[in-house]
Structure 1
Amino acid sequence: MKTIDLAGEAQQLQWAMAFVAVVEQGSFTAAADSLQVSKSLLSKQLRQLEAALGAQLLYRTTRRLLLTEAGELYLSHCRDWLQRVQAARQALAELREDIAGSLRLTVPTSFGGVFMAQAMLALRAKYPALQIELELSSHTRDLEADGFDLAIRANIPPPERLVARPLAEVADWLVVAPAYLAARGTPQQPAELAGHDCLCNSHFVHGRHWVFQRDGELQTVDVRAPIAVNDYNLIRNLALQSAGIARLPAYLVGGDVAAGRLQRLLPGYRSGGQNLYLVYPQRLPQPAKQRVLVAFLLQWFAAPEQAALLGHLPG
């Protein structure tokens, strides 16, 4: 086993922090003042660091300092070390404090209406000092500009500056009112849907192009949609009124299927769905309230009760 030279590593870390100070202050003089050391000692530490690394980090001229390619790379790692040290200090400090403060979330309307009441009550029961502001919206908000701590988003690639964590997969179910089937018959194959009235979501560009999968084989059908609307709840209401066959998230219609108000069609086929993500700004150190919120939601949506509502387990 290789022995770690702790004294040597500590010495090099001190030199690295001196290097960061020189770069951020823009000169040896300003950096020496900020660190309260002599300029000659600071210059010596930089020379020792470059010798230990075997690489030149700075171009020194009479007027300015310029980073070399090696210096750019080393600086990025040094800043990462500083952020990790700060995050560790913050995490330890938070062990001695209650999780408190306000949290702002934005969540898709239909999804939030089904899930978020119980989720937020359970979160508050665990962290009673938290204050929660929840927005239900179909619009994609700018989390940083609008002051949100977290969003739940579906099938939307987030901006690179945001963190995205997989949360859940929502299954779509094909459903219809029994009265519609009594009048029009029951389709047995996806292709037969072309001869039926279907209720489509106009929010999606390809809302009339339905894709089905079974045993690794894809089947597609372009359905006829006498009525198309951009709201899942309205589509559900139309389906309950026997207006046609609907493809809806399982969490919206599971209760209707269980009660017999709607009947599920083609259960042997997968008919799409959505991948849901937790999306939040990348902050170092990550605030404790945001960290516990992310951990709580990941655990809560992994529970069997939520999996059943999402359409993956028997209810």
Structure 2
Amino acid sequence: MATINRIDEQQLWPWAMAFAAVMSHGSFTAAANALGVSKALLSKQVQQLERALGTQLLYRTTRRLNLTEAGKVYLAHCQDWQLRMQAANQALQEHGQTVAGHLRLTVPTSFGGVFMAKALMDFREQYPHVTVELDLSTTPRDLEADGYDLAIRANLAPPERLVSRPLALVYDWLLATPAFLAKYPPLTHPEQLTRLPCIINMHFAQPQRWELSRSGELYVAEVSAPYQANDYGLLRNFALQGAGVARLPSYLAAADVENHRLQRVLPEYQLHGQAMYMIYPQRLPQPAKVRALVDFLLSWFAKPEQVKMWE
């Protein structure tokens, strides 16, 4: 390490980039041809880098180049420097330019149906040269394989190669029509749910097991279900028709509660929250249109008028 300290970092940079180029192209000869320099110069630069670092980076044979363990570590950092330089160059090129292009998003059906029309229209007011394609689906898409720029997902651990940003914590409510609830004694405890017809979501792992909490204490109700479905919109319609007690995201039912079409059941008890994430491929450089959308959605969903729909 003392040797490195005596070397000017401005000298290390071209040597490190020479090393990265050699490994990228697979040989000194191919790298020299691609860069328009001599093979001897590249070889000398890599040797100077190894002396400066005080360690061997390559095993050289007549047929191929193999990285040492130190070489693998150092190359990873060199490649990261290259990506960051590319990102810096792109950011500079895009500075002051119009954000434009086509964006492909995939979002859960009910969440997208409630929020995304307004969100994306507001986004295009800021960025009118961006066009948007929106896929609403309960099936998680492979963003990279299917060519999507961004997804919103619920309670899903993203693959390591994707960036994940928390967007919201959404709570479900238990709901029924006032006319339906008038047929039964007032509900005061979760165990009473077992005596009522309920409408369950087959998408859940244990759809008939409803867990509620109050003051840190957990209660479990094993409900009966004359109707089962895997779509929140259909569950809501069943509830509106008086079919039973439904479990719905607060954002989907807030307007119905406000207009007295539905009534909250056991509102003093809380169901588990559902974390919503914004997920997108990790790219360096990240396209300006994606950066703009990410920043916009984080800001848009943090506004009070959105937050009140899932609290």
Short-chain TM bin: over 0.9
Deviation at 1:5, TM superposition (A): 7.8
Q: Residue type matched to 1:159 in 2? A: P
Deviation at 1:273, TM superposition (A): 3.2
Q: What SS does the aligned partner of 1:183 have?
A: coil
Q: Is the 8 A contact 2:106 2:148 kept in 1?
A: yes
Question: Match of 2:197?
Answer: 197
Deviation at 1:176, TM superposition (A): 1.3
Moved over 3 A (4+): 4-7
Give, in whole Å, the separation in 2 of the partners of 1:131 and 1:158: 26
Q: Residue type matched to 1:142 in 2? A: D
Give, in whole Å, the separation in 2 of the partners of 1:6 and 1:131: 53
Give, in whole Å, the separation in 2 of the partners of 1:6 and 1:213: 63
Deviation at 1:159, TM superposition (A): 2.5
Question: Match of 1:24?
Answer: 24
For residues 94-140 of structure 1, give each alpha carbon's deviation from its aligned partner in whole angstroms, at most 9, with x where no partner exists.
11310011111111111111101110110010101111111212222
Establish whether residue 66 from structure 1 lines up as the match of residue 74 from structure 2: no
What is the TM-score normalised by the length of structure 2? 0.95
Q: Which sections of structure 2, spanning at least 5 residues, go unmatched?
A: none
Deviation at 1:160, TM superposition (A): 2.6
Deviation at 1:238, TM superposition (A): 1.4
**Percent identity between the two aligned chains:** 59
Deviation at 1:21, TM superposition (A): 1.4
Q: What SS does the aligned partner of 2:12 have?
A: helix
Q: Is the 8 A contact 2:7 2:52 kept in 1?
A: no
Deviation at 1:285, TM superposition (A): 0.6
Q: Residue type matched to 1:76 in 2? A: A
Q: Residue type matched to 1:161 in 2? A: R
Question: Match of 1:263?
Answer: 263
Aligned residues: 308
Establish whether residue 233 from structure 1 lines up as the match of residue 233 from structure 2: yes
Q: Which sections of structure 1, spanning at least 5 residues, go unmatched?
A: none
Deviation at 1:40, TM superposition (A): 2.5
Q: Residue type matched to 1:145 in 2? A: A
Q: What SS does the aligned partner of 1:296 have?
A: helix
Question: Match of 2:221?
Answer: 221
Deviation at 1:284, TM superposition (A): 1.4
Give, in whole Å, the separation in 1 of the partners of 2:205 and 2:25: 52
CA RMSD, Structure 1 to Structure 2 (Å): 1.7
Q: Residue type matched to 1:255 in 2? A: A
Q: Superposed, which structure 2 residues align to 1:1-12 within 5 Å?
A: 8-12=8-12
Q: Is the 8 A contact 1:249 1:273 kept in 2?
A: no
Q: Superposed, which structure 2 residues align to 1:1-315 within 5 Å?
A: 8-310=8-310, 312=311
What is the TM-score normalised by the length of structure 1? 0.93
Q: Is the 8 A contact 1:87 1:284 kept in 2?
A: yes
**CA 1:5–1:52 in 2, change beyond 3 Å: closer, same or farther?**
closer
Give, in whole Å, the separation in 1 of the partners of 2:6 and 2:181: 76
Q: Residue type matched to 1:244 in 2? A: G
Segment drifting more, 278-287 vs 21-30 = 21-30
